[in-house]
Structure 1
């Protein structure tokens, strides 16, 4: 009897499962967060009648859509983690409909990768103790910055060092923005080209850990749109670390040339929030700081 030999059968290839992308994960988190917040709000809290035979804990999807004045289908897709575009204005309406607090609202906009049109007005992360330290450092200028170079808090002398910070909108109190767009601040920087190049390199180095975050991307987009000089420097792709100590020379309109040692003291994990102090690098600067402090007090 002849034995027939057969070639081994080739099994059909099963396509590999699609690995979720970062956007997939983010949309899934957004959907779960919205569902959890919707289920927490009762009809009575939203000013709606409960009605008979309600099985859904909290609000129904169509009720959230009605309260936010958006389409039911669109909101349903949002809770189903569909890949849809959502504007900050619509997110604002959804946040109001779901009665989100400040932390929940910030989390919503972060998950949606959108910029909040009504950002936090308080200075996050600046405790009463840190504010007391800022005051006690007078006449030395000092401020609290985050890793994005937002100026979160400052003492009286610092407010008069570069420009009158109190007169600026909060969203403009950012060292990167001021150095590239504010003429008064730029006039005080004795080594302007070197200073702004170094700042841009530090900003690029720090931003690597924050790619895709709305606040960072928004600041970058604003700088690229507002400053041809920043666009030119940014195109070089230079990177530098944030250092704990450095020297800076300033030309103040009222007290003259100032030379400082800048020291960064991190208030949490590094890199992150930091206390930035300006101590005089020579006796002449120390004497002029007293005059600057008096000027800041209006004396």
Structure 2
């Protein structure tokens, strides 16, 4: 991993977490008319964490210093990080093992057979870059002929923010978008040595103000499930619960399966779904 880039991400993450905390809730008496800092000040984080101000300042400046796990755990408590945020902090501080980057192999025919056997349950397989590399017929139909898209168009994050009709087709777009960005940022921390990730982020920031706003929040999440509501051309709504499964410990592939929430849309026929 590029150490300078990692330290920059760590600094930005710490600033974003302290900015969301209320000084009053943390026990500080604050005269708001004279306070310019949003959230906690550096010295307040330092005091609450029991670490020196120069040391914490060095962290937020992205300087090359070694941080002990004890200090990190103290920051976890002070900044009130949840478990996903704690894991993210440990990765950025280089206290969590990083996966070995390896070239993605072709999808075995056996996995395509599993997708096809899903029948009316939309399902697809993604690689570590979130590119769809295999899918079943119903998923291709609901996604408007996914199989014909160019390479970037097969990236699920790109499709959420850069494909024009995504906001219309995904009824709960705001929730889906924020969840996906938070999860992608968690993965981004593991693969910062792969320039492809930063290039995708840069392209999305240029293309979408919504993505840029969400990315700058530094929210992280390891959640691999959620709800998605799809609007068909004739305004019919289909509600799905999706789950994501890592295929094996030795593979970067993951399978995402969408199961219907209600009885009304539990039976779908890809031949009868008309997509403009």
Whether 1:209 and 2:190 are equivalent positions in the alignment is yes
Where 2:182 maps in the other structure, the secondary structure is: helix
Distance 2:222 2:250 in 1: 11
Q: 2:245 touches 2:255 (CA, 8 Å); kept in 1?
A: yes
2:174 corresponds to which of 193, 196, 205: 193
Where 2:223 maps in the other structure, the secondary structure is: coil
Q: 1:143 touches 1:275 (CA, 8 Å); kept in 2?
A: yes
Distance 2:204 2:213 in 1: 11
Structure 2: runs of 5+ lacking an equivalent: 5-102
Structure 1: runs of 5+ lacking an equivalent: 1-20, 24-119
Q: 1:144 touches 1:153 (CA, 8 Å); kept in 2?
A: yes
Superimposed CA distance per residue, residues 211-256 of structure 1 (whole angstroms, 9 cap, x where no aligned partner): 130221221111111111111111111111132x322211121571
Please state how far the C-alpha of 1:271 moved relative to its aligned partner.
Answer: 9.1
Superimposed CA distance per residue, residues 115-160 of structure 1 (whole angstroms, 9 cap, x where no aligned partner): xxxxx9xx83411100111111112111001233211111111011
TM-score, structure 2 as length reference? 0.58
Counterpart for residue 295 of structure 1: 272
Whether 1:236 and 2:217 are equivalent positions in the alignment is yes
Q: 2:239 touches 2:262 (CA, 8 Å); kept in 1?
A: yes
* Residues 43-192 of structure 1 aligned to structure 2 (within 5 Å): 124-192=105-173
Counterpart for residue 282 of structure 1: 262
Number of aligned pairs? 176
Evaluate the alpha carbon distance shift between residue 271 and residue 240 of structure 1 in structure 2; reply closer, same or farther with a 3 A threshold: farther
Structure 1 ranges of 4+ moved more than 4 A: none
Distance 2:134 2:205 in 1: 26
Q: 1:147 touches 1:271 (CA, 8 Å); kept in 2?
A: no
Counterpart for residue 247 of structure 2: 267
- Higher relative contact order structure (alpha carbons within 8 Å, sequence separation ≥ 6): 2
Where 2:217 maps in the other structure, the secondary structure is: coil
Superimposed CA distance per residue, residues 155-180 of structure 1 (whole angstroms, 9 cap, x where no aligned partner): 11101113221331122101100000
Q: 2:233 touches 2:274 (CA, 8 Å); kept in 1?
A: no
Distance 1:133 1:167 in 2: 21
Evaluate the alpha carbon distance shift between residue 227 and residue 260 of structure 1 in structure 2; reply closer, same or farther with a 3 A threshold: same
Q: 2:124 touches 2:256 (CA, 8 Å); kept in 1?
A: yes
Distance 2:256 2:164 in 1: 22
